[in-house]
């Protein structure tokens, strides 16, 4: 009886053991694929013999993986190397355009979407106006924009989608947990990732748009080559993205970086979050405009009056304020100075805490103001920051923020793509036809 039970247990465990062996074998296969892929993309054009010398794998294993990469379209033969005494070896070239990723994000009244290759290089870009009022409407508009962007491209070539969204985003579960859109706050969490995946049929990852923006800056923008970065999105709200040793720090509840709710004026203005004196109330887009209106009322010759219909200062926008400051308007410059002062107070604490190499002033305000905002921010930071972290700090304006964020969202999708998806076969004719 005892022997029978042991045999029964053994039979029951055989399928599990078999599954574990298959899983282990596939994991080793994927590790081998990654090694060969990395060696080829970094050294192409390269021969098979040279590739074997670069990775600790057998010639047969390398040949098998090269065959897979050729079928996937990411590798092609590009000629022959010089002879070293025998037959001239065939050279293998890398084709990052064979597989694509999509990035999409929304800012104010527009949606930006981009297709990139495997290296995050943009190959197609699309912008559409947005009119949605509620978060679900905005996501549907983003979905329509991606659908139009991808057009007739073979969907097997598209590895995945990254979306940069406003609000507190749970990256693991694909949920927007908190978001105020055009003055309307969401109720229950929104299944944003599910909406994208069900509508577009591609793996999706969602994140706060400032996280996407800093990835875009590290890929192609002002943060290229940096590994410890503090990116400040300044728009309708203020939020920071923290990059430590090349990786974004999200925090265990994905809410790291809410610098807009740092207190800069104890017992100050009441914020929508329920606290008083938050940075959002003193340095956001609406705070800048309100400050500019107040300053212009005290200066009858302010050119901001001529920028709006009938001289009605209530019609001022942040674009008007920035343009006026660039033209030397004293009231606009004063408004930006005061805005930068409060930003500098909050940022000083963050710099002392995180010791970044680079501070980027981004978002709709940070990317357009240049030295007009950098200078007052820098002055305040120098007053409150320790000399050692200050000594290595660079402060710059962000790149054109909406395009950068879309590229970063695509990079986010690429980072989450498993190697087996990159190796999936593709129709070579579709690749030859181009985008």
What digits encode the pLDDT tens for the residues 49-71?
999 999 999 999 999 999 999 99
Q: Is 404 exposed, middle or buried (0-12, 13-18, 19+ CB in 10 A)?
A: buried
| Inter-CA distances, 8 with 2, 13, 20, 68, 148, Å | 10, 9, 19, 41, 57
CB burial readout 411-433, b (16+ within 10 A) else e? bbbbebbebeebbeebeeeebee
Rounded CA separation 200/142 (Å): 11
User: Is pLDDT of 380 > 50?
Assistant: yes
Token pair 């709709």 is found at 364
Query: Kind and range of the H or E element at 46?
Result: strand 46-47
CB 37 within 8 A of CB 419: yes
Q: pTM higher than 0.75 for the full model?
A: yes
Sorting pLDDT into bands at 50, 70 and 90, what band is 14? low
Task: Please state the φ and ψ torsions of residue 225, each to the nearest 5 degrees.
Answer: 95, -10
Domain boundaries, the chain: 2-94, 98-217+404-432, 226-398
The C-alpha atoms of residue 33 and residue 107 are separated, in whole angstroms, by 38
Q: What single DSSP character describes residue 137?
A: H
* Percentage with pLDDT > 90 across the chain: 72
pLDDT at 9: 41
pLDDT band (50, 70, 90) for residue 252: very high
**For domain 2-94, which CATH number applies: 3.40.1390.20, 3.30.9.10, 1.10.10.10, 3.20.20.30?**
1.10.10.10
Q: Range with the lowest mean pLDDT among 65-79, 129-143, 221-235, 294-308?
A: 129-143
Angle between helical axes of 318-326 and 371-384 (0-180°, round to 10): 90
Give the mean model confidence (pLDDT) for residues 253-279: 93
Return mean pLDDT, the chain. Answer: 89
Homologous superfamily (CATH) of 226-398 is ATPase, nucleotide binding domain (3.30.420.40)
Per-residue model confidence as pLDDT tens digits over 202-211: 999 999 988 9
Is there a common fold for 98-217+404-432 and 226-398? Answer: yes
pLDDT of residue 110: 87
pLDDT at residue number 2: 39
pLDDT over 80 at 99, yes or no: yes
What is the CATH topology of the domain spanning 98-217+404-432?
Nucleotidyltransferase; domain 5 (3.30.420)
Q: Which residues have C-beta within 8 Å of that of residue 25, sequence separation ≥ 6?
A: none
């Amino acid at each position: 009886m005892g022997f029978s039970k042991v045999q029964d247990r053994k039979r029951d465990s055989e399928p599990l053991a078999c599954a574990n062996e298959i899983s282990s074998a596939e994991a080793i296969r994927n590790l081998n694929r990654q090694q060969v892929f990395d060696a080829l993309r970094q050294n192409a054009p390269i021969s098979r013999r040279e590739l074997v010398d670069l990775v600790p794998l057998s010639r047969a294993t390398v040949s098998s993986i090269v065959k897979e990469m050729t079928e996937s379209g990411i590798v092609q033969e590009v000629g022959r190397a010089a002879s070293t005494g025998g037959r001239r070896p065939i050279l293998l070239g890398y084709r990052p355009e064979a597989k694509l990723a999509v990035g999409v994000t929304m800012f104010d009244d527009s949606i930006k979407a981009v297709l990139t290759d495997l290296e995050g290089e943009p190959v197609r870009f699309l912008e559409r106006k947005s009119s949605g009022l509620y978060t679900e409407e905005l996501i549907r508009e983003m979905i329509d924009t991606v659908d139009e962007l991808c057009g007739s491209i073979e969907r097997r070539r598209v590895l995945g989608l990254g979306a940069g969204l406003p609000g507190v985003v749970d990256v693991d579960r694909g949920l927007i947990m908190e978001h105020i859109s055009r003055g309307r706050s969401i109720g229950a969490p929104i299944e944003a990732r599910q909406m994208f995946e069900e509508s577009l049929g591609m793996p999706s990852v969602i994140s706060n748009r400032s996280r996407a923006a800093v990835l875009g800056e590290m890929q192609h923008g002002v943060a290229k080559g940096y590994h410890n970065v503090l990116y400040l999105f300044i728009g309708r709200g203020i939020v920071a993205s923290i990059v430590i040793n090349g990786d974004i720090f999200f925090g265990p509840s994905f809410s790291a970086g809410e610098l807009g709710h740092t207190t800069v004026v104890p017992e100050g203005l009441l914020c929508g979050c329920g606290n008083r004196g938050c940075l959002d109330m003193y340095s956001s887009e609406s705070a800048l405009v309100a400050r500019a209106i107040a300053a212009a009322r005290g200066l009858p010759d302010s050119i901001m009056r001529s920028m709006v219909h009938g001289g009605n200062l209530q019609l001022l926008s942040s674009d008007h304020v920035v343009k006026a400051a660039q033209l030397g308007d004293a009231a606009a410059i004063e408004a930006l100075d005061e805005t930068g002062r409060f930003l500098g107070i909050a940022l000083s604490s963050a710099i002392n805490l995180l010791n970044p190499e680079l501070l980027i002033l981004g978002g709709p305000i940070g990317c357009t103001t240049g030295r007009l905002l950098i200078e007052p921010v820098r002055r305040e930071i120098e007053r409150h920051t320790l000399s050692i972290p200050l000594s290595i700090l660079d402060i710059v304006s962000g790149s054109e923020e909406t395009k950068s964020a879309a590229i970063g969202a695509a990079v986010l999708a690429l980072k989450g793509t498993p190697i087996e998806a990159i190796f999936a076969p593709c129709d070579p004719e579709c690749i030859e036809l181009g985008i």
